[in-house]
Amino acid sequence: MQLTILGCHSATPRIDTNPTSQVLQIKNHMFLIDCGEGTQVQLRKAKIKFNRIKHIFISHLHGDHYFGLVGLISTFRLLTRETDLHIYGPKGLKEVITLQMKLAESWTNYKLIFHELTSTKSELIFEDDKVEVHTIPLDHRVYTNGFLFKEKPGERKLDMNAILNNDIDVAYYRKLKQGADVVDNNGELIKNSELTKAPAPVKSYAFCSDTAYNPSIVPIIKDADVLYHEATFLEKHAHLAPKTKHSTAKEAAEIAKLANAKSLILGHYSTRYNDYEDFREEASSVFDNVLLSKDGKSFDFDDLRS
């Protein structure tokens, strides 16, 4: 599981700071999360193959989180994409994208499938055999969701020594991986736990931007391996946070602590700050494992655990 930050700054794109966009590589998926202006160029810089993106998750309809989407959709068309593209985001997104396609008289030759979100409760919005994605209702000036990406537990691993010692027929291997007990060649029942080992532990990633300090999300993101939480302000500007429905670095850390997250990545820095180390420092007073996002930086979730 790997997260690449394409942009982690709030508000306006500038020469060296890009608005929010991330790519999460999880199992065989390449999920794009938010898509500020310039995301397609950031994807090229990060050498991410456009065709691998099949699902795009948009948190909310402020421009710094989605103004790059219509351009990316057009570019996919120009690159003669054929693969379906699923877009998850607030109601209204479909209207604004289709209006622009209509005005350009340029429809996609691939299938564009919108999954418009309106619920204010966490819901399962994507699931296959390996991964599930849930919304995280956030508290911002417009309807906003974070997203929780969770690996599903894999199959149990065969303990080949125990299997050979117990003379288990190869026909049972599939059932064993699925957790069933089996009988040996003498007709004796052998417990699954004696023949298999636990699957690799599953990982999860919670993306929370933009939001005011909102402890009601804690049960949803509980025990997340990695929590990305917006930290638009430092505590010295704490008075601006509730007004703009953003968080401070300290508040982000408090959420990480309450949720028992393993790592916290900060981002969505206000353009008023130059030194992002201040964000790490402030959050570290509350929570141990604080990391700073940076445009172009990748986080490997295995490295974060060690």
Q: Annotated binding residue at 268?
A: yes
- Annotated ligand binding at 237? The verdict is no
Tokens of 80: 């003669």
Q: Which is nearer to a copy of itself, 27 or 91 (CB)?
A: 91
Q: Identify whether the C-beta of residue 273 lies closer than 8 Å to the C-beta of residue 234.
A: yes
Contact yes or no for 33/68 (Cβ under 8 A): no
Binding residue (CB under 8 A) for a copy of itself from 70, 136, 148, 212: 70
Residue range at the interface with a copy of itself (CB under 8 A); choices 93-101, 116-124, 195-203, 227-235: 93-101
Task: Please report how close the Cβ of residue 44 comes to a copy of itself at its closest, in angstroms.
Answer: 5
The 176-205 contact track toward a copy of itself, x by CB under 8 A, reads: ------------------------------
Annotated binding residue at 115?
A: no
Q: Which member of 45, 197, 236, 305 binds a copy of itself (CB under 8 A)?
A: 45
86 is in an annotated binding site: no
Q: What is the dihedral of CA 91, 93, 96, 99, to 10 degrees?
A: -90
d(CA 10, CA 94): 24
16, 34, 64, 275: which is the annotated catalytic residue?
64
267 in contact with a copy of itself (CB under 8 A)? no
Stretch that binds a copy of itself, among 69-77, 156-164, 234-242, 244-252 (CB under 8 A): 69-77
Would you call 275 a catalytic residue per the annotation? no
Cβ proximity to a copy of itself: between 103 and 171 the closer is: 103
End-to-end Cα distance, the chain: 14
Question: Is 140 annotated as contributing to ligand binding?
Answer: yes
* Site pattern 125..164 for a copy of itself (x: CB under 8 A): ----------------xx----------------------
Residues 11-40 that bind a copy of itself (CB under 8 A): 11-15, 37-38, 40
Q: Which of residues 95-114 bind a copy of itself (CB under 8 A)?
A: 95-96, 99-100, 103-106
Q: Which residues are catalytic?
A: 64
Pick out the residues of the known binding site: 60, 62, 64-65, 140, 210, 268
Residues interacting with a copy of itself, by CB under 8 A?
11-15, 37-38, 40-41, 44-45, 61-64, 67-68, 70-71, 74-75, 78-79, 90, 92-93, 95-96, 99-100, 103-106, 141-142
